[in-house]
Structure 1
Amino acid sequence: MRYKKTFGEKVFDAFVYLLLSLLMIATFYPLYYIFVASLSSVSEIAKHGTFMLFPKGFTLESYKAVFQNEMILTGLRNTIFYVILGTAINMILTIFAAYGLSRKWLKGRKIIMFGIVLTMFFSGGLIPSFMVVQNLGLYNTIWALLLPGAMSAWNLIMMRTYFMGLPVSLEESARIDGANDFQILFRVILPTAKPILAVMVLFYAVGHWNSWFSASIYLQNRELYPLQLILREILIQGRVADFGGNSANVTHQVAKNLKYATIIVSTIPILLVYPFIQKYFVKGVMLGSLKE
Structure 2
Amino acid sequence: MSSTTRPVWMEKPTALGNAAKGGVLLVIVGLVVFPFLLVVSTSLASRQEITRNGGFVLWPTDPTLSAYTTVLSGGVVSRAVLVSLGVTLVGTVFSLTATVLTAYGLSRRGTWGQRPLLMVVLLTFLFTPGIIPSYLMVKQLGLLNTYASLILPTAISAFNVIIVRGFFQSIPGELIDSARIDGAGEWRILATIVLPLSKAVVAVVGLFYAVGYWNSFFTALLYLSDSDKWPLQLVLRSYVLQGAPLGGLDTGATEALPPQQAIQMAVVVLAIIPILCVYPFVQRHFTKGVLTGAVKG
* TM-score, scaled to structure 2: 0.89
**For the structure 1 residues 23 and 243, does the alpha-carbon distance in structure 2 shift closer, same or farther, using more than 3 Å as the test?**
farther
User: Structure 2 residue aligned with 1:117, among 105, 110, 122?
Assistant: 122
Q: Which range moves more in the overlay, 37-46 or 164-173?
A: 37-46
State the alpha-carbon separation in 2 of the partners of residues 26 and 182 from structure 1: 47
Work out the number of aligned pairs and report it: 288
State the alpha-carbon separation in 1 of the partners of residues 96 and 78 from structure 2: 27
**For the structure 1 residues 202 and 247, does the alpha-carbon distance in structure 2 shift closer, same or farther, using more than 3 Å as the test?**
farther
SS of 1:123's equivalent in the other structure is coil
State the alpha-carbon separation in 2 of the partners of residues 289 and 99 from structure 1: 21
Q: Which range moves more in the overlay, 105-114 or 33-42?
A: 105-114
State the alpha-carbon separation in 2 of the partners of residues 186 and 6 from structure 1: 47
Unaligned runs of 5+ in 1: none
Q: What amino acid sits opposite 1:30 in the alignment?
A: P
How big is the shift at 1:69? 1.6
SS of 1:188's equivalent in the other structure is helix
1:167-208 C-alpha deviation (Å, 9 max, x unpaired): 111101110100010010011111111111111111111111
Partner residue, 1:242: 247
User: Structure 2 residue aligned with 1:131, among 133, 136, 153?
Assistant: 136
How big is the shift at 1:240? 2.6
Unaligned runs of 5+ in 2: 1-5
Checking the alignment, whether the CA contact within 8 Å between 1:159 and 1:288 is kept in structure 2 is no
1:204-258 C-alpha deviation (Å, 9 max, x unpaired): 1111110100000000111211110011111011123535133894699811111
How big is the shift at 1:276? 0.6
Asked if 1:149 corresponds to 2:123, the answer is: no
* TM-score, scaled to structure 1: 0.90
State the alpha-carbon separation in 2 of the partners of residues 105 and 175 from structure 1: 15
State the alpha-carbon separation in 1 of the partners of residues 170 and 238 from structure 2: 45
Asked if 1:5 corresponds to 2:36, the answer is: no
Checking the alignment, whether the CA contact within 8 Å between 2:70 and 2:257 is kept in structure 1 is no
Asked if 1:176 corresponds to 2:181, the answer is: yes
How big is the shift at 1:5? 3.4
Q: What amino acid sits opposite 1:273 in the alignment?
A: V
Partner residue, 1:93: 98
Partner residue, 1:69: 74
Asked if 1:35 corresponds to 2:58, the answer is: no
**For the structure 1 residues 290 and 103, does the alpha-carbon distance in structure 2 shift closer, same or farther, using more than 3 Å as the test?**
farther
**For the structure 1 residues 19 and 114, does the alpha-carbon distance in structure 2 shift closer, same or farther, using more than 3 Å as the test?**
farther
Partner residue, 1:286: 291
Partner residue, 2:108: 103
Partner residue, 2:208: 203
1:96-122 C-alpha deviation (Å, 9 max, x unpaired): 001011112225534422321221221
**For the structure 1 residues 141 and 4, does the alpha-carbon distance in structure 2 shift closer, same or farther, using more than 3 Å as the test?**
closer
Partner residue, 1:272: 277
Partner residue, 2:222: 217
**For the structure 1 residues 6 and 240, does the alpha-carbon distance in structure 2 shift closer, same or farther, using more than 3 Å as the test?**
closer
Checking the alignment, whether the CA contact within 8 Å between 1:161 and 1:288 is kept in structure 2 is no
SS of 1:273's equivalent in the other structure is helix
**For the structure 1 residues 127 and 250, does the alpha-carbon distance in structure 2 shift closer, same or farther, using more than 3 Å as the test?**
farther
List aligned pairs for 1:42-57, cutoff 5 A: 42-49=47-54, 52-57=57-62
How big is the shift at 1:4? 5.5
1:123-177 C-alpha deviation (Å, 9 max, x unpaired): 1210111001001111111111111111011111111111111111110111010
User: Structure 1 residue aligned with 2:165, among 145, 160, 164?
Assistant: 160
SS of 1:121's equivalent in the other structure is coil
State the alpha-carbon separation in 1 of the partners of residues 226 and 57 from structure 2: 40
Q: What amino acid sits opposite 2:107 in the alignment?
A: S
**For the structure 1 residues 108 and 135, does the alpha-carbon distance in structure 2 shift closer, same or farther, using more than 3 Å as the test?**
closer
Q: How well do the aligned residues superpose, as a CA RMSD in angstroms?
A: 2.4
Q: What amino acid sits opposite 1:183 in the alignment?
A: R
